[in-house]
């Protein structure tokens, strides 16, 4: 049975199509895997086997009557808890939304359902997607399947870990400054942040509206592309949604995987992403990947993006500013948690007490930061300047893409660190996003794929490719090209090399972090 969890979404789709398996069997296998390992990994905040199996049975019935909804009909999917769902709670990793049932589905969830995908559950995340380790979840951290003493990256550590631990073939994530790509790097999986506006944000609980983008997490480039094809495209509920007619990303990935596809490709290596901030193993594997690309006929050139040195600073003004406003709605009046005050209290007191009790420390830190940055007298110096930096970064990219097809960087500076290691050092945590943030500031697409294992610690690392806005298909093609070469070398996806982990008990170091308070198994 567990064999089925080792297959990619594309393989499962093929097996469902030729009748060698059923959606119920595939779904049950993943539910069994979740039951077996998620006590340790804690990738899921909520699973509902009954719902999943009912959806799987419905899919099988459609197959039987010759009317599947799509090629992926019946393939299971994990959903980041930032996306609202009508049949499962949506908390965005926060206590303030504990048990919140949305009356509507996020557009990407609707599209996944319309394609026949089977939701397995909601995945863990840093509270309101603020963090790079998933330790800021109000429901306890997720653990890295490669080493359960370590973080899975964040904010989408749950989706990445679920995919890496074979609890789901693929998952939905959201990426505001790297929340899809950095966990992919950390867990040896694939993560794609699409062009801003190419995937609907409707129903994605907003962190920073001008930076947020929903995207796919998977173990292979093709699976990410297949999921992107399902969720992408114009949505009238999202005013920032692009009306472009998008090509098939799966097609781009398939043709990119063909030998010779990399010939003549111009790859710009961003000179700013090197040096001592970057772990040796990260750079080693990065350079090896570049050599592989060159050997396959790509031209590698150095490119400078001088303004990206200000990216993290600008990002940590724009994000908190928008977040401080986006999170104002969590006030207990209409939904979510409500603190009670002795003697009743005024509405202001109840709002204040609710936010005091309902938000975690990182959320409060960013709300305070953002409120300050938007204040009269500071707006120009902070928010205004940050927006100018954003324009400069966009210009840097425009200039770079005038001479190269894609840019390449290591996805993040280091491999997975130990749980708790950076929890008291927000700046060290923020520095993790150094290479991923610029894509969000510029609205361009970025993909991270595994480039190998760092020799010094045996943990996976990733390479990131960036393309001009709207050129998402190019990224799938290039990433699939390199992936094919790497898979040939490894004999399959990197996740196949992940060591087995002890599922019996959480490891000792786990006790230094807050205990798991899962709502899993509810409803």
Partner 1 sequence: MAKAKLMDFDKALELFEPVLGFEVHVELNTTTKMFSSAPNEFGGEPNSNVTPVCLGLPGSLPVVNEQAVRYSISLGLALGCSIAPSSRFARKNYFYPDLAKNYQISQFDEPIAFEGKVDVELSDGRIVSVDIERAHMEEDAGKLTHVGGATGRIQGAEYSLVDYNRAGVPLVEIVTKVIYGAEADAPELAKAYVATIRDIVVALGISDARMERGNLRCDANVSLRPRGQEKLGTRTETKNVNSLRSVERAVRYEIQRQAQILSEGGTIVQETRHWHEDTGATSAGRPKSDADDYRYFPEPDLLPVEPSVELIEELRAALPEQPAERKRRLKAEWGFSDLEFQDVVNSGLLSELVATVSAGASPQAARKWWTGEIARIANAADREPTELITGAQVAEVQLLVDEGVLNDRMARQVLEAVIAGEGSAREIVDAKGLAVVSDDGALIAAIDTALAAQPDVLEKIREGKVQAAGAVIGAVMQAMQGKADAARVRELVLERAQA
Instruction: Supply the residues annotated as catalytic.
Output: 80, 155, 179
User: Which residue in the set 201, 228, 422, 520 belongs to the binding site for partner 1 (CB under 8 A)?
Assistant: 201
Footprint (CB under 8 A) of partner 1, residues 23-52: none
- Least separation in angstroms between residue 222's CB and partner 1 is 29
User: Which residue in the set 205, 225, 262, 484 belongs to the binding site for partner 1 (CB under 8 A)?
Assistant: 205
- Least separation in angstroms between residue 179's CB and partner 1 is 16
**Paired sense of beta strands 76-80 and 190-193, if any:** unpaired
Neighbours of 217 (CB within 10 A): 35
Decide: is 375 part of the binding site for partner 1 (CB under 8 A).
yes
User: Which residue in the set 208, 292, 423, 494 belongs to the binding site for partner 1 (CB under 8 A)?
Assistant: 208
Cβ-based nearer residue to partner 1, 444 or 480: 444
User: Which residue in the set 45, 204, 222, 510 belongs to the binding site for partner 1 (CB under 8 A)?
Assistant: 204
Q: CA angle, corner 364, sides to 43 and 333, nearest 5?
A: 90
Decide: is 98 part of the binding site for partner 1 (CB under 8 A).
no
Furthest-apart CA atoms within the chain: distance in Å:
74
Contact status, residue 123 vs residue 78, Cβ threshold 8 Å? yes
Phi-psi label, residue 325: left if phi above 0, alpha if psi -120 to 50, beta otherwise: alpha
Cβ-based nearer residue to partner 1, 199 or 206: 206
Decide: is 100 part of the binding site for partner 1 (CB under 8 A).
yes
- Least separation in angstroms between residue 312's CB and partner 1 is 19
- Report the residue count for the chain: 523
User: Which residue in the set 139, 202, 316, 476 belongs to the binding site for partner 1 (CB under 8 A)?
Assistant: 202
H or E stretch at 30:
helix 23-41
Contact status, residue 62 vs residue 68, Cβ threshold 8 Å? yes
Footprint (CB under 8 A) of partner 1, residues 222-251: 236-240
Contact status, residue 295 vs residue 287, Cβ threshold 8 Å? no
User: Which residue in the set 203, 216, 410, 493 belongs to the binding site for partner 1 (CB under 8 A)?
Assistant: 203
Task: Name the one range near partner 1 by CB under 8 A: 28-36, 64-72, 198-206, 410-418.
Answer: 198-206
User: Which residue in the set 302, 348, 424, 500 belongs to the binding site for partner 1 (CB under 8 A)?
Assistant: 348
Helical spans, DSSP H, in 232-337: 249-256, 280-295, 311-326
Distance, in Å, from the CA atom of 317 to the CA atom of 380, rounded to the nearest integer, reads: 11
Cβ-based nearer residue to partner 1, 147 or 322: 322
- Least separation in angstroms between residue 247's CB and partner 1 is 24
Cβ-based nearer residue to partner 1, 231 or 269: 231
**Paired sense of beta strands 213-218 and 190-193, if any:** antiparallel
Decide: is 263 part of the binding site for partner 1 (CB under 8 A).
no
Cβ-based nearer residue to partner 1, 335 or 490: 335
- Print the binding letters for residues 383-402 with partner 1: x by CB under 8 A, - otherwise: x-------------------
Distance, in Å, from the CA atom of 26 to the CA atom of 38, rounded to the nearest integer, reads: 17
User: Which residue in the set 17, 35, 69, 374 belongs to the binding site for partner 1 (CB under 8 A)?
Assistant: 374
Residue 406: alpha-carbon gap to chain centroid: 21
Q: What share of residues in the chain are helix, strand, coil (percent, to 5)?
A: 45, 15, 45
Contact status, residue 331 vs residue 458, Cβ threshold 8 Å? no
* 3-state per-residue secondary structure call for 311-343: HHHHHHHHHHHHHHHHHHHCCCCCCCCCCCCCC
Decide: is 102 part of the binding site for partner 1 (CB under 8 A).
yes
Decide: is 90 part of the binding site for partner 1 (CB under 8 A).
yes
DSSP codes joined into one string, 344-357: ---HHHHHHHHHHH
Minimal CA–CA distance to 81: which of 73, 92, 71? 92
Footprint (CB under 8 A) of partner 1, residues 67-86: 83-84
User: Which residue in the set 70, 210, 304, 497 belongs to the binding site for partner 1 (CB under 8 A)?
Assistant: 210
Tell me how far apart the terminal alpha carbons of the chain are, to the nearest angstrom. Answer: 26
User: Which residue in the set 99, 340, 379, 398 belongs to the binding site for partner 1 (CB under 8 A)?
Assistant: 379
- Least separation in angstroms between residue 177's CB and partner 1 is 15
Distance, in Å, from the CA atom of 72 to the CA atom of 69, rounded to the nearest integer, reads: 8
Footprint (CB under 8 A) of partner 1, residues 316-335: 321-322, 324-325, 328-329, 331, 333-335
Query: Residues touching partner 1: how many (CB under 8 A)?
Result: 43
Cβ-based nearer residue to partner 1, 109 or 257: 109
Residues of this chain that interact with partner 1 (CB under 8 A) are 83-84, 90, 92, 97, 100, 102-104, 106, 201-206, 208-210, 236-240, 321-322, 324-325, 328-329, 331, 333-335, 347-348, 351, 371, 374-376, 379, 383
């Amino acid at each position: 049975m567990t064999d089925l969890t080792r297959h990619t979404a594309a393989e499962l789709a093929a097996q469902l199509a030729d009748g060698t398996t059923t959606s119920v069997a595939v779904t049950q296998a993943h539910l069994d895997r979740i039951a077996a390992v998620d006590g340790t990994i804690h990738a899921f905040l909520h699973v509902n086997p009954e719902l999943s199996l009912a959806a799987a049975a419905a899919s099988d019935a459609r197959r039987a009557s010759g009317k599947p909804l799509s090629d992926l009909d019946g393939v299971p999917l994990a959903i980041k808890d930032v996306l609202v769902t009508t049949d499962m709670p949506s908390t965005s990793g926060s206590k303030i939304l504990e048990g919140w049932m949305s009356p509507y589905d996020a557009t990407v969830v609707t599209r996944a359902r319309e394609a026949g995908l089977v939701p397995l559950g909601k995945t863990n995340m840093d509270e309101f997607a603020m963090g790079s380790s998933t330790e800021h979840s109000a429901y306890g951290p997720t653990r890295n399947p490669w080493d359960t003493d370590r973080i899975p990256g964040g904010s989408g550590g749950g989706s990445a870990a679920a995919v890496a631990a074979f609890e789901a073939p693929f998952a939905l994530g959201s990426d505001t400054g790297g929340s899809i790509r950095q966990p992919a790097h950390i867990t040896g999986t694939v993560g794609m942040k699409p062009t801003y506006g190419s995937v609907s944000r409707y129903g994605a609980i907003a962190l920073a509206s001008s930076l947020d983008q929903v995207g796919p997490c998977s173990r292979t480039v093709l699976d990410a592309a297949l999921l992107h094809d399902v969720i992408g495209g114009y949505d009238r509920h999202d005013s920032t949604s692009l009306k472009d007619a998008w090509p098939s990303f799966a097609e781009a990935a398939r043709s990119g995987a063909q030998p010779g596809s990399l010939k003549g490709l111009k790859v710009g290596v961003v000179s700013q992403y090197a040096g001592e901030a970057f772990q040796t193993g990260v750079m080693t594997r990065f350079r090896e990947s570049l050599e592989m690309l060159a050997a396959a006929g790509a031209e590698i050139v150095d490119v400078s993006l001088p303004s990206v040195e200000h990216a993290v600073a600008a990002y940590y003004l724009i994000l908190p500013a928008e977040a401080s406003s986006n999170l104002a709605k969590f006030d207990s009046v209409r939904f979510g948690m409500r603190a009670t005050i002795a003697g009743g209290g005024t509405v202001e007191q109840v709002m204040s007490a609710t936010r005091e009790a309902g938000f975690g420390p990182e959320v409060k830190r960013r709300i305070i930061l953002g409120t300050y940055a938007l204040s009269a007298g500071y707006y120009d110096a902070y928010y205004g300047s940050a927006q100018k930096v954003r324009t400069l970064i966009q210009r840097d990219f425009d200039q770079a893409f005038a001479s190269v097809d894609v840019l390449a960087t290591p996805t993040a500076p280091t491999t997975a660190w130990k749980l708790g290691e950076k929890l008291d050092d927000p700046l060290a945590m923020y520095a993790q996003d150094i290479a991923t943030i610029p894509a969000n500031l510029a609205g361009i697409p970025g993909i991270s794929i595994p480039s190998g294992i760092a020799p010094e610690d045996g943990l996976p690392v990733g390479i990131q490719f960036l393309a001009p806005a709207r050129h998402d298909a190019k990224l799938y093609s290039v990433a699939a090209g390199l992936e094919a070469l790497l898979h040939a070398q490894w004999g399959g996806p990197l996740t196949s090399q992940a060591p087995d982990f002890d599922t019996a008990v959480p490891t000792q170091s786990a006790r230094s972090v807050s205990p798991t308070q899962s709502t899993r198994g509810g409803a």
